[in-house]
């Protein structure tokens, strides 16, 4: 008797589940059907429109993340950060911008690109190390291949000969990203004097990267020369960076929040790809 009752219940439930599903589907269809009108009221759709990283997977090499793309803001020293931000703004606009313009007039575009490639190539060992630290052995290999191709065929890296070969162009890794891969959180958001947006994790990573940078390990180059090299690298990158900053400032409603959010989005993207 009891056995029969169970059997009956199971059959009944089995019959009910598809029915319930069908009703659910119908509701959903109804929902998307009149979305033309109610699109703005539908918060679920709003979420899917904002965080549709599920459908963007593979599009630009980003892996889909479980946290549906929401980025938490942890900015406990915002008033102080804003002061540094205001200071940086003055320096960028009144010093860096005119310096960049002069530099662009003196150094032709092809030479600037060449120098950019050269400095980037010098840092290859750094990226190789960080790929290895993250267990990305294939990319470490690609980065090594790129280093040899550009050093030999690209005249010490002035020409990016490997640019055309897609397998030799892995995304750039740094120590901040490595720390993130190891599960270390970003810590508080920081605005560094002159250098701009960062956070505690990336600042620590930056210090570590400077330490493991082969250029800084070479004893055959004097400390003074190292400063010259670093200075030229900074100067060469300045026009692009100032341009980027000016665009961001012009298009922003609140430049401080805009830069903070841009930095966080960019880093999240770099860590997850």
Smaller CB separation from another protein, 11 or 71: 71
Smaller CB separation from another protein, 234 or 258: 258
Closest distance to another protein from the beta carbon of 244 (Å): 11
Closest distance to another protein from the beta carbon of 58 (Å): 9
DSSP 8-state class, residue 107: S
Smaller CB separation from another protein, 34 or 225: 34
Q: Which residues bind another protein (CB under 8 A)?
A: 32, 35-36, 39-40, 46, 48-50, 52, 55-56, 59-60, 62, 69, 71, 73, 109, 112-113, 116, 160, 163, 169, 247, 250-254, 257-258, 260-262, 265-266, 268-270, 273
Residue partners of 248: CB distance under 8 A and separation at least 6: 255, 258, 259, 262
Query: How many angstroms separate the CA atoms of 51 and 271, rounded?
Result: 17
State both tokens at 194.
């002159």
Smaller CB separation from another protein, 4 or 250: 250
Instruction: Give how far Cα 174 sits from Cα of 78, 135, 147, 193, 210, Å.
Output: 26, 13, 16, 21, 11
Closest distance to another protein from the beta carbon of 269 (Å): 3
User: How far is the first Cα of the chain from the last one, in angstroms, to the nearest whole number?
Assistant: 60
Closest distance to another protein from the beta carbon of 271 (Å): 10
State both tokens at 107.
């150094």
DSSP 8-state class, residue 61: S
Smaller CB separation from another protein, 65 or 216: 65
Query: How many angstroms separate the CA atoms of 74 and 179, rounded?
Result: 18
Query: How many angstroms separate the CA atoms of 200 and 206, rounded?
Result: 10
- CB of 121 closer than 8 Å to CB of 114: no
Smaller CB separation from another protein, 57 or 222: 57
Closest distance to another protein from the beta carbon of 258 (Å): 5
Closest distance to another protein from the beta carbon of 149 (Å): 15
Closest distance to another protein from the beta carbon of 251 (Å): 4
**Which residues does residue 192 pair with via DSSP β-bridges, in sequence order?**
196
Closest distance to another protein from the beta carbon of 26 (Å): 16
Residue partners of 65: CB distance under 8 A and separation at least 6: 53, 268, 272
- CB of 137 closer than 8 Å to CB of 144: no
Smaller CB separation from another protein, 218 or 246: 246
Query: How many angstroms separate the CA atoms of 177 and 132, rounded?
Result: 12
Smaller CB separation from another protein, 141 or 255: 255
């Amino acid at each position: 008797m009891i056995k029969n009752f169970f059997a009956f219940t199971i059959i009944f439930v089995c019959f009910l589940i598809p029915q319930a599903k069908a009703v659910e589907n119908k509701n959903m269809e109804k929902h998307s059907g009149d979305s033309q009108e109610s699109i703005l009221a539908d918060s679920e759709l709003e979420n899917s429109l904002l965080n549709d990283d599920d459908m963007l997977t593979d599009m630009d090499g980003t892996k889909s993340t479980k946290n549906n793309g929401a980025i938490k803001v942890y900015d406990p020293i915002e008033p102080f950060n804003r002061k540094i931000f205001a200071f940086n703004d003055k320096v960028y606009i009144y010093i860096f911008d005119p310096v960049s313009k002069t530099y662009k007039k003196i150094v032709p575009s092809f030479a600037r690109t060449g120098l950019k490639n050269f400095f980037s190539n010098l840092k290859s060992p750094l990226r190789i190390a960080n790929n290895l630290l993250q267990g990305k052995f294939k990319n470490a290999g690609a980065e090594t291949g790129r280093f040899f191709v550009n050093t030999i065929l690209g005249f010490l890296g002035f020409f990016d000969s490997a640019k055309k070969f897609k397998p030799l162009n892995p995304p750039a890794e740094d120590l901040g990203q490595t720390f993130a891969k190891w599960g270390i959180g970003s810590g508080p958001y920081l605005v560094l004097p002159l250098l701009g947006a960062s956070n505690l994790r990336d600042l620590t990573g930056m210090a570590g990267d400077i330490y493991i940078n082969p250029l800084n390990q070479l004893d055959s180059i004097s400390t003074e020369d190292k400063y010259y090299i670093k200075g030229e690298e900074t100067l060469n990158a300045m026009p692009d960076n100032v341009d980027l900053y000016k665009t961001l400032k012009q298009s922003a409603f609140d430049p401080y929040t805009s830069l903070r959010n841009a930095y966080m989005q960019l880093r999240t993207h770099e860590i997850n790809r």
